[in-house]
A and B are shown apart, each in its own frame.
Chain A
Amino acid sequence: MSKTAASALKERDHANPVGAITTFILPALLVYAAFTALPVLRTFYNSTHLIVPNKPSEWVGFTHYTALWSDQIFWKAVWNTLTWAAVAPVLEVVIATLLALCLYAKVPFSRVLRVAWFTPVLMSYVVVGILWMWIYNYEWGALNTMLRAIGLGALAQPWLGHPDTALASLIAVTTWMWTGFNMVVILAAMSSLPSEVLEAAELDNCGWFAKLWYVILPLIRPTLLNLVVLSFIGKMKVFDLVWVTTQGNPLWSTETVSTYVYKRAFQWSTFDLGYPSTIAVIWFVIVLAGVLGLTFLFRQKDRLEY
């Protein structure tokens, strides 16, 4: 049964019958191979070919890669997506920690509040996108109506229609969606803290802020960092929300890598699937580097502290 057992024994290994193992794992492997592995390999293959309908694909070497290097829109999309992926996780996790503390301190109505804060994450981005387009509407949108009501009508503007505010407005939407989710995870982490540690802190006559800063936060740090990485990965994928609301407008100010890939592959009449595949491959490398970098950074800090 042990892994070191000689392969000769494998056939007589009753605890690990090869036939049963194959049967159990095969369906999952087939689905994985056909609908995940093959498409990924296909995309990598595409990235060095010119692929237009009704013609055999043509090897173009690294032409797409060099073209990508001087593609202004691509770099704009990368910048927007990275901004999103840098700002949103911090906003989400910080606000979520504050909210979780409120519920942890057992404010009244915490059950209702938890439901109200968590619900946005359950909605489809299509629903969320349309809803927030109305909220940001210039004439009758909720945001401008409120601004006018409190005498700040001068600030009212078409939030999604102006290049300076469009991206920030969309970041506010993803924050609205995901903060509640982060809050629930953080609350779960706080609730599972060993009560002896917290009681010890109280015995030491530790103030609530000191208790939070020196006891609670360090203890839930792994969860917080995990959430930052998860949120980062999520924001690097953002597509639906942008597609429903702005489609990258105005002036590419909300263009993300996902929407640009989609446009180049299925919308613009260039009919070439090679170039968008190149974008996808480069983006895959950037995301991977980002995730590895973050993980490494957080590990490094952990090592320094202990």
Chain B
Amino acid sequence: MAAQTRTRFSPAGLRMAALMLFIALYTAYSAGPFVWVASMSLRTTSEIAANPYALPWPLHFDKFASAWLDSNYDTYFFNSVVIVLSAVALLTVIGGMAAHCFARYTFRFKGLLYFLIFSTIIFPPQVTVIGLFQIMVEYGLYNNRLGLVLVYVSIQLPVTIYILEAFFARIPKDLFEAARMDGYSEWAIFWKISLPVALPAISTTVILNTILLWNEFLYAVVLITEDDKRTLPLGVLRFLGDQLEDVGMIATGLMIAIVPVVLIYVFFSERLIQGMTAGAVK
């Protein structure tokens, strides 16, 4: 690239150089913070204090072990995994059933139900969170992992139904008629035809919900206060409070929260992007 801009000083070349500068600056702004925190996560706090921007050498991988073992990180991580996976599994089944229903059948109040469920997308969360807090206390679901799972199902339900419904609606009707002729029950049609055919859309919602719920903070902070029930975002914040001066250790804690998300992104980037942008493109 550099060679290209140097060989000709034409307006086109200058424009190319400006373009490259813009791209380089934006990339530094966008990726720089990650590079920094990744390098700090492998350095001790005294090394960082001496020079916050030096290269990580020697690599202190043992910091990950001590962050994990000394400060309840294993509990937070385990809680997050269990809560997120249960919520995503429930979402897939409940959301899939509802989406199948909206896509395949006509029934009374269909439009109204559809509108009710989707209007929640624009609700500011404040309008649910206080009432939810009271209700969860009354149900005995406050400070309860099952309670958080159910709340997570409810907040991701509209977008899950939205993505799946769009996909189910495109499955040709003949497929269902044929299945009905073969004596399939309505449930068998859903379970053996709709779901397998819609596997791409389902994997999209699974990945999207996993990432969004993995990062969820507001409902967790309102509904969970006991340390052994905290999810990872709450744990990271707690860790920050405990280790206020220990920048190196906090950086390691941050990396533990970042790595699973990055791994999912590396393996499923196309599906993930599809899911995240599903609502935005019309």
Chains A and B form a bound pair: yes
Q: Is the interface of B mostly helix, strand, loop or mixed?
A: helix
A230 engages B247 (CB within 8 Å) = no
B23-61 vs A: 1/0 string, CB under 8 Å? 100110111111011000000000000001100000000
List the one stretch of A60-68, A257-265, A297-305 in contact with chain B.
Answer: A257-265
Q: Does A42 interact with chain B (Cβ within 8 Å)?
A: yes
Q: With A102-B19, A124-B257, A142-B36 known to touch, is A185 a contact of B280 (CB < 8 Å)?
A: yes
Chain A interface category by residue count: 35 or more
Chain B interface category by residue count: 35 or more
- Residues of chain B within 8 A (CB-CB) of A99 are 23, 26
Complex Cα distance, B102 from A42, in Å, reads 28
Closest residue on chain A to residue B276 by CB atoms: A181
- Residues of chain B within 8 A (CB-CB) of A28 are 94-95, 97-98, 117, 157, 161
Complex Cα distance, B102 from A41, in Å, reads 25
* Complex interface residues of chain B between 72 and 127 (CB less than 8 A to chain A): 93-95, 97-98, 100-102, 105-107, 113, 116-117, 120-127
- Residues of chain B within 8 A (CB-CB) of A145 are 52-53
A98 engages B154 (CB within 8 Å) = no
Q: Does B258 interact with chain A (Cβ within 8 Å)?
A: yes
Complex Cα distance, B129 from A273, in Å, reads 11
Interface residues of A (CB under 8 A from B): 1, 3, 15-18, 20-21, 23-25, 27-29, 31-32, 34-43, 45-46, 51, 95, 98-99, 102, 105, 107-108, 113, 115-127, 130-132, 134-135, 140, 142, 145, 176, 179-181, 184-185, 188-189, 222-223, 226-227, 230, 233, 236-237, 239-240, 243-244, 257-258, 261-262, 265-266, 273, 276-277, 279-281, 283-284, 287-288, 291
Q: Does B133 interact with chain A (Cβ within 8 Å)?
A: yes
Complex Cα distance, B101 from A115, in Å, reads 36
B120 engages A239 (CB within 8 Å) = no
A283 engages B186 (CB within 8 Å) = no
B28 to chain A, nearest CB (A): 10
B131 engages A32 (CB within 8 Å) = no
Closest 3 CB pairs of A and B: A42-B131, A39-B131, A35-B154
Complex Cα distance, B153 from A110, in Å, reads 36
Complex Cα distance, B130 from A262, in Å, reads 9
Closest residue on chain B to residue A39 by CB atoms: B131
Q: Does B69 interact with chain A (Cβ within 8 Å)?
A: no
Complex Cα distance, B46 from A300, in Å, reads 60
A237 engages B124 (CB within 8 Å) = yes
Complex Cα distance, B31 from A113, in Å, reads 9
- Residues of chain A within 8 A (CB-CB) of B19 are 102, 105, 107
A23 engages B187 (CB within 8 Å) = yes
Interface residues of B (CB under 8 A from A): 1, 19-20, 22-23, 26-27, 29-34, 36-37, 52-53, 93-95, 97-98, 100-102, 105-107, 113, 116-117, 120-135, 150-151, 153-155, 157, 161, 186-187, 190, 211, 214-215, 217-218, 221-222, 232-234, 236-237, 240, 247, 250, 254, 257-258, 261-262, 265, 269, 272-273, 276-277, 279-282
B277 engages A185 (CB within 8 Å) = yes
- Residues of chain B within 8 A (CB-CB) of A281 are 127
- Which residue of A32, A243, A287, A288 contacts B116 across the interface (Cβ within 8 Å)? A32
B136 to chain A, nearest CB (A): 9
B106 engages A3 (CB within 8 Å) = yes
Complex Cα distance, B269 from A134, in Å, reads 29
Q: With A31-B94, A35-B132, A35-B150 known to touch, is A43 a contact of B127 (CB < 8 Å)?
A: yes
Complex Cα distance, B262 from A29, in Å, reads 34
- Residues of chain B within 8 A (CB-CB) of A46 are 130-131, 134
B31 engages A16 (CB within 8 Å) = no
- Residues of chain A within 8 A (CB-CB) of B155 are 36
A119 engages B123 (CB within 8 Å) = no
